[in-house]
Amino acid sequence: MATICISSSLIITVILSVFAIIIPVTFSLQVRFYQESCPRAESITKRIVKKNFLKDPSIPGGLIRLHFHDCFTRGCDGSVLIDSDSRNVAEKDAPPNLSLRGFDVIDEIKQELEKQCPGLVSCADIIALATRDSVALSGGIKYKLPTGRRDGIISRMVDVRLPGPSFSVQATLMALRNVGLDLDDLTTLLGAHSIGFCHCVFFINRLVIEGKSLLQLDQGLAFTGLSKKLAEKYVNDSQLFRNKFAKAMIKLGNIVTAEEGEVRLDCRRVNKRV
């Protein structure tokens, strides 16, 4: 079993799939999408996330990371939640996803929403909403989140192509641009390394002292041109960081797949075909 070290940093492996057909869009999403069809959807999600946070303060980091992994492989379609079966090895069993957490929280939210509003709230939206609430519980801004995502019907381990935290800034940026994100987004989103826990193997040297960052990608960003200037601004203006982080999270959540998808009744498996 890998040794776990609790720290002030969350490993968000910036998972970027250059082979998946992913496009950033906003036209199909809207704030308070469920206001008429399931008015308690967001409050139920918030209540369950908070309940789990009170039991395990590290759960927000796990949910944020789960959202990242979902969005960068086939878009924000909840495909990372699907279980493998005898016919298919799903995304969640790809090596970079084996340490993901928060599946049980998503299941709990989905089960409650199915009681209140059967077949209406997508698993993809549940992940996004739970992530938004996790950011707020961790001291960030509670941003207005567009919803209306559909759940993907495809989840394959072979689609997961994930640069890890040891990748260079340039290699990571090359993959980021394929999903419509840029250096500003990368620098901002990696601010989520300030919560959660990580595996010790990802740490370089010891602590952020003498100009050294914990993770190789963070270190590259901290001492690279424009990203260095932005990081310095964030250090001196925490409110600027919170505002930019909220905007970057919304942009991340707008990465959706080209297919229409469905609303899964069980987040762990696609709906049965008639």
Q: What average pLDDT does range 56-60 have in this prediction?
A: 92
The pLDDT assigned to 75 comes to: 87
Which range among 2-16, 23-37, 182-196, 213-227 shows the weakest confidence by mean pLDDT?
2-16
- Tell me: pLDDT of 134 over 80: yes
Phi, psi of 172 (to 5 degrees): -70, -45
pLDDT in tens, 87-113: 999 999 999 899 999 999 999 999 999
pLDDT cut 70: percent of the chain above it: 70
95 or 4: which leads in pLDDT: 95
Catalytic residues: 69
Annotated binding site for substrate: 163
Measured in residues, the chain has a length of 274
Taking only the tens place, the pLDDT of each residue in 116-132 is 999 999 999 999 999 99
Could you list the residues known to form a binding site for heme b, using ranges: 193
What does the pLDDT read at residue 214? 46
Interstrand relation of 197-199 and 4-6 (parallel, antiparallel or unpaired)? antiparallel
Count of H helices and E strands in the chain? 9, 6
Does residue 22 surpass a pLDDT of 70?
no
237-268 pLDDT per residue, tens: 888 878 888 888 888 888 776 557 899 999 99
195 vs 11 pLDDT, higher one = 195
Mean pLDDT across the chain: 78
pLDDT given for residue 227 in this prediction: 65
Give SS3 for 89.
Answer: coil
Q: Give the C-alpha separation, 214 to 236, whole Å.
A: 20
Q: Residues forming the annotated binding site for Ca(2+)?
A: 70, 75, 77, 79, 91
The pLDDT, as a whole number, for residue 209 is 34
Report d(CA 41, CA 145) in Å as an integer: 13
Give the span between the Cα atoms of 101 and 106, in whole angstroms: 10
Determine what percent of the chain is predicted with pLDDT higher than 90: 45
- Which of the residue ranges 42-56, 72-86, 151-165 has the most confident prediction, judged by mean pLDDT? 42-56
* pLDDT greater at residue 229 or residue 5: 229
Binding site: what residues are annotated? Answer: 70, 75, 77, 79, 91, 163, 193
Enumerate domains of the chain plus CATH numbers.
9-257 (1.10.520.10)
Residues 230 and 215: beta-carbon distance below 8 Å: no
- Give residue 219's pLDDT band: very low, low, confident or very high (50, 70, 90): low
Radius of gyration over every alpha carbon of the chain, rounded to an integer in angstroms: 18
